A and B are shown apart, each in its own frame.
Chain A
Amino acid sequence: MSSSVLDRAGIAAGPVHTDPPDDVPAAPARWRRVARRLTPARKATGLLTVLVLWQVGAGAGWLGTTTPAPTDVLSAARELIASGELAHHLGVSLTRVAKGLAIGLSVGLLLGLAAGLLRLAEDLVDGPLQSLRMLPHLALVPIFIIWFGIGETSKIALIAIGPIFPLYLNVLHGIRGVDERLVESARSCGVGRLGLILRVILPGALPQILVGLRQALGLGWLSLVVAEQTATTAGVGFLMNDAREFLRTDVIFVVLVIYALLGLATDLFVRLIERRALAWRRGFAGE
């Protein structure tokens, strides 16, 4: 009788006994969970430090009289938002970028696809594009103003031309980098020409294409800044030039922050695409 009690106790103790070895690796796991929850805080710390130093520095006058404090910049931004000025200028700028990128990205993508998929197209297109690529496209401002006038066309043309090259190059190299053995394997599975492009070549090239997209979008913003430096009466670039005339450094800083936020937004956008479209990939994430 007593032995059966012991047995039962043994059985009851069974799961308890197995717990400690489970608990040992659980402790670091818990730590990892806590650490993961702290990651956003860790990422924010650097930025916060810079902001605090800036505020303190501007208040104490270490940064000279022409540097506004973050709080000044914030109030200038509030003013611009309240008056509707910011929305107006931002709208104009975003329209320019949207139009320019729509053209530039389409051309870059089409040329890259053509050159990547067809040898003939590569032979025809690659030479001219490679030599044009060496030319800093922002140097085209004067000739674009002569060709297209000082209106919207020259600005959109400038924004359109920059992104063509990085997208073209990355699309082409992405396609060329697709594993030939996968192509052969898909062919042996009876995949046709179109299927080969849609199910093998494009997915294989996508990581590189997205790198190109990121660089192209960055160039789009850069071109916008330059395009709005001259001969314009609207856009965030105009806002900045106008502020310079009146030594409104706080407004200048507002525009700089807007440029940074726009760049950040596009980067997040591409990263979102990457996370969804490249879910199959697992890269080194860092220690």
Chain B
Amino acid sequence: MTATTTAVPGTGTAAVRVRGARRAFDGRVVLAGADLDIAPGEFVALLGASGSGKSTLLRAVAGLDRGATGRFRVPDRRAIVFQEHRLMPWSRVWRNVTLGVRGPDLRGRALHALTEVGLAARADAWPRTLSGGESQRVALARALVRTPDLLLLDEPFGALDALTRIKAQALVAQLWTEHRPAVLLVTHDVEEALLLADRALVLRDGRIAEEFVVDVPRPRALDNPRLLALRRALLRALGVNADLPTDKSVPEEKP
């Protein structure tokens, strides 16, 4: 492993600083020297076509990919929410929340985090009894209980139905406002990125190819003209012509 991971104090200039991230799978280059900076408390969305390496970059930042090379400066206190909830089916909900956490009154801390996601009543339930949205909220509580300086979200709402997804996005926006961790959100959903993020990055050919600053005050509505313009530009950067369909009716699927 040639990647160097060093701790950044909470008051540092950048929460995340990645230089020259590289990763190849069986000779196929996925990351070709990607650079990434995230300021403390900044919400960054990372977009890209399928297979563009979004998740690979996130996993490299998370320190989960030993095959990635480059210079990584990442806070020690970081937490990940995956696309699947990845709860231990044999542990009660609250024990899942405090998995790997040490210290006194773990249950109290778990209950506090579960209250924030509205699931304190399910603290003693088995994960299999939860719905998809509930499981994902538990996964969020598991991230929150660590009071992370960096929250990594790997398409956390990708497996949720449309209505549940809207609620989960609102919850993430609210939690981010309250706790202000730096966030790296990997998503394929342009609107999700525009609703939540300060900056949207487009990953292409293994590098961050374009950057869009989402300079729209929160709370945001999707029909905000500035957001609509950004959406069109962002879609074009992703190789989709948004002018062909009449309305926002899943234009991502147009060639």
Chain A residues proximal to chain B, CB less than 8 Å: 181-182, 184-192, 195, 199-200, 203-204, 206, 278-282
Chain A min CB distance to B242 (Å): 35
Categorize the interface residue count of chain B. Answer: 10 to 19
Query: Do A182 and B99 contact each other (CB < 8 Å), given the known contacts A199-B91, A203-B91, A282-B128?
Result: no
If over half of A's interface residues share one DSSP class (helix, strand or loop), that class is named, otherwise mixed; here it is: helix
Which of the segments B82-90, B172-180, B202-210 contacts the partner chain?
A: B82-90
Closest B residue, CB atoms, query A203: B90
Q: Across the interface, do B82 and A181 meet the contact criterion of CB distance under 8 Å? A: yes
Residues of B within 8 A of A204 (CB): 88, 90
Chain B min CB distance to A276 (Å): 12
- Complex Cα gap A206–B90 (Å): 10
- Complex Cα gap A181–B81 (Å): 12
Query: Do A187 and B84 contact each other (CB < 8 Å), given the known contacts A199-B91, A203-B91, A204-B90?
Result: no
Query: Do A181 and B86 contact each other (CB < 8 Å), given the known contacts A189-B99, A195-B100, A280-B126?
Result: yes
> How many A-B pairs fall under 8 Å by CB?
53
Chain B residues proximal to chain A, CB less than 8 Å: 62, 64, 79-80, 82, 84, 86, 88-91, 99-101, 126-128, 142, 146
Chain A min CB distance to B70 (Å): 19
Q: Across the interface, do A186 and B88 meet the contact criterion of CB distance under 8 Å? A: yes
Residues of B within 8 A of A190 (CB): 100-101, 146
Chain B min CB distance to A148 (Å): 42
Chain B min CB distance to A199 (Å): 7
- Complex Cα gap A206–B127 (Å): 17
> Which of A186, A278, A280 has the most chain B CB within a 10 Å cutoff?
A280
Kindly identify which residue among B79, B89, B99, B142 contacts A280, using a CB–CB cutoff of 8 Å. Answer: B89
Kindly identify which residue among B89, B100, B146 contacts A281, using a CB–CB cutoff of 8 Å. Answer: B89
Chain A min CB distance to B19 (Å): 23
- Complex Cα gap A186–B142 (Å): 11
- Complex Cα gap A179–B75 (Å): 27
> Which of A182, A190, A195, A278 has the most chain B CB within a 10 Å cutoff?
A190
Q: Across the interface, do B142 and A189 meet the contact criterion of CB distance under 8 Å? A: yes
Residues of A within 8 A of B101 (CB): 189-190
Chain A min CB distance to B115 (Å): 20
Chain A min CB distance to B85 (Å): 9
Q: Across the interface, do B90 and A191 meet the contact criterion of CB distance under 8 Å? A: no
Query: Do A182 and B64 contact each other (CB < 8 Å), given the known contacts A190-B101, A191-B100, A199-B99?
Result: no
- Complex Cα gap A279–B92 (Å): 11
Q: Across the interface, do B86 and A182 meet the contact criterion of CB distance under 8 Å? A: yes
Closest B residue, CB atoms, query A278: B90
Query: Do A187 and B99 contact each other (CB < 8 Å), given the known contacts A181-B86, A200-B88, A206-B90?
Result: no
Residues of A within 8 A of B99 (CB): 186, 189, 191, 199
- Complex Cα gap A120–B82 (Å): 31
For the complex of A and B, list the 9 residue pairs with the smallest distance between their C-beta atoms, beginning with the closest. A189-B100, A185-B86, A190-B100, A191-B100, A203-B90, A280-B90, A189-B99, A280-B126, A188-B80
Closest A residue, CB atoms, query B76: A190
- Complex Cα gap A39–B99 (Å): 40
Closest A residue, CB atoms, query B97: A189
- Complex Cα gap A63–B89 (Å): 53
